[in-house]
Amino acid sequence: MSPRPLASAITLPTVIGRRVAEEAAFFAACTRAGILRINSPATAKAGLSAYRRLGPLGAILALSVSRTPERNIVIDERGATTFGDFEARTNAIANAWAAAGVSAGDGIGIMVRNHVGFLETLFACVKLGAKAIFMNTSFSGPQLKAVAEREGVQVLVYDEEFASVVQDVDAPAGRFRAWTTDPDDAGEDTLRGLATTGARTTPAAPSRHATLIILTSGTTGTPKGAARQQPKSLAPFGGPLSRVPFRGGEVTVLPTPMFHAVGLLQGLIAVGLGTTLVLRHRFDPEGTLRDIEEHRATGLVVVPVMLRRLLDAHDKTGRKHDLSSLRIVFVAGSQLGGALATRTLDTLGDVLYNLYGSTEVAIATIAGPHDLRRAPDTVGPVVPGSRVRILDEHGKDVPPGQTGRVFVGTAMPFEGYTGGGTKALIDGLMSSGDVGHFDEHGLLTIDGRDDDMIVSGGENVFPGELEELLAGHAHIAEAAVIGVEDDEFGQRLRAFVVLEEGAALDEEAVRTYAKENLARYKVPRDVHFLDELPRNPTGKVLKRELKDQG
């Protein structure tokens, strides 16, 4: 898709025609992948009935349950769950909550790691028409309490390890443990207990469809709640599936946290495809490699820091695990970087797909293997159904090759933060908060956050270019760069570097490497060495914490 802006005077028939064409393309992509595969009149009836009662999320589960009830929906450390049993269990949980007074629109907080309990809670919310609120598992007690009060949590579902964190949260309709220390614990305050005692009949149709509240990553402050209604478009499925060759009935290993947009999206796509998800409640690089080999997984969904750790583990074990079944390594959540992209392609082959988007703007671009071979640091071309423009400070389009603010429009518009406020809008497109540029092939590259730019000696500098360069050094595992105040130049760059295991490098060597490859004003004035960079659970570097160091 061309990065050129749309004409300013677009007629209504043109807009309608474009949307019809896009939905037709999404329908084709979903059918080709297998989400909309109808193998019998009963399957069609089940899907349509669930869509009317529960919306798209209810429909994708109903279709897969009807097609392959005996297939596993999830395999986690405690065993396998089939689609048929999952349907019955989520019915039971929803009916038990309804009997306790939970109704459509009530908030259900989910502080759960990756295991079958996460999806059971989500689809019980769908069947109740409740508001699913995805809590970050790294929250402190006060953070969780504040978010729960703001979002109106009525029911709280949590893993037992978080008992001390959730103790001050007021959940009037009850608290329920998802992952318990004793796997056989079926107490009345557990999901296992609800699934055992609740009625397994189809719950009554809710008065409204479920909504999802995804919390922003919180790299620059307290996480905000981003509200989304269930889509009235096939774009959330058809957009990715038009670029990434996921297919029904396969196996996907999903280490990425499902409480975040990337993991949630891929979890829902897998449910719709009738794909088996292999989950671990804690990320373990060697365990993930074993999962890929043992289950002959065709898909792997990770954030970049997970991908780097997987490749490190693969190399350290002499590449003993057979990863040849992988057709797709899907990466999103934070900047991939050209060095890691090239390493992945060279190690695993042409299987890498890099998504760019955010909680607010949804999906903007996806780079495939061909794009990444051409430009390793790209996030790819615009996906069907989305629009991306690069604008200057006056809201005017900038030409290819020139950096500007990234604005995105999608078929899943962000409804604003639950606590009030939204992102900047221009001509119906929303600011992503990033700056970037298109190249002559229509490939987007992200140059950094728009609030990361510093002015050093009168020159505009984005830390991302130096970060990318340093990450490509043979002795550097990863790097982060921030701007700090400087009496002489106004601001200067400070680099934080994590060395490869066993490597030795000093500050002057890092500075010399930067001087040999970048303009002088892009060379860091000082370099700090760390054992690891501070990150949130989705792999984004917490630069506010770096500012307190050094």
Instruction: Check which CATH number belongs to the domain holding 458 and give it.
Output: 3.30.300.30
**What confidence score (pLDDT) does residue 222 get?**
57
User: What's the pLDDT band for 1 if we cut at 50, 70, 90?
Assistant: very low
| Confidence band for 16, pLDDT divided at 50, 70 and 90 | confident
What is the pLDDT averaged over residues 96-125? 97
Question: What is d(CA 42, CA 447) in angstroms, rounded to the nearest whole number?
Answer: 50
Whether 92 shows a pLDDT value over 70: the answer reads: yes
Residue 53 lies in a domain: no
Judge whether 114 lies within some domain. Answer: no
Whether residue 413 is contained in a domain is answered as no
In this structure, is residue 249 part of a structural domain?
Answer: no
What local confidence, expressed as pLDDT, does residue 457 receive?
A: 67
Euclidean distance between CA atoms 86 and 397, whole angstroms = 49
* Residue 156 maps to a domain: no
Q: Tell me the sheet residues that pair with 426.
A: 429
Instruction: Work out the average pLDDT over 257-278.
Output: 95
Show the domain range for 524.
452-546
- Alpha-carbon distances, residue 167 vs 136, 141, 164, 193 (angstroms): 16, 8, 5, 21
Give the tens place of pLDDT for each residue, 138-183. 888 888 898 899 999 999 999 999 999 999 999 999 999 999 999 9
Residue from 279, 209, 283, 285 nearest 251 by CA: 279
pLDDT level of residue 5 (50, 70, 90 thresholds): very low
List beta partners, residue 251. Answer: 276
Report how many domains make up the chain.
1
Q: What is the mean pLDDT of the chain?
A: 90
Q: Do the bridges between strand 72-76 and strand 79-82 make them parallel or antiparallel, or are there none, so unpaired? A: antiparallel
Between 432 and 367, where is the model more confident?
367
Residue with tokens 């970087």: 337
Distance (Å, whole) CA 60 – CA 39: 14
501: in domain: yes
Task: Say which residue, 240 or 333, is predicted with more confidence.
Answer: 240
Amino acid identity, residue 268?
A: L
5, part of any domain? no
Give dist(CA 95, CA 75) in Å, integer: 25
pTM as predicted: 0.87
Long-range contacts of 318-322 (CB under 8 A, 24+ apart): 321/289, 321/290, 321/292, 321/293, 322/293
Helix (H, G, I), strand (E, B) or coil at 99: helix
Residue 449 has phi, psi (to 5 degrees) of -80, 145
pLDDT tier for residue 13 given thresholds of 50, 70 and 90 = low
For residue 289, the SS3 value is helix
Which of 6-15, 68-77, 477-486 has the largest mean confidence?
A: 68-77
Q: Which of 3-7, 26-30, 64-68 has the highest mean pLDDT?
A: 64-68
Residues in the chain, overall count: 550
pLDDT in tens, 210-235: 999 988 755 444 567 777 778 788 88
The confidence band for 420, taking pLDDT boundaries of 50, 70 and 90, is low
Distance in angstroms (rounded) separating the CA atoms of residues 87 and 411: 29
Cα 304–305–311 angle (5° rounding)? 90
Residues in contact with 284: Cβ distance below 8 Å, sequence separation at least 6, in sequence order: none
In the predicted model, is pLDDT for residue 331 greater than 60? yes
Does residue 515 fall inside a structural domain?
yes
Quote the pLDDT of residue 2.
Answer: 41
Task: Determine what percent of the chain is predicted with pLDDT higher than 70.
Answer: 94
d(CA 354, CA 363): 11
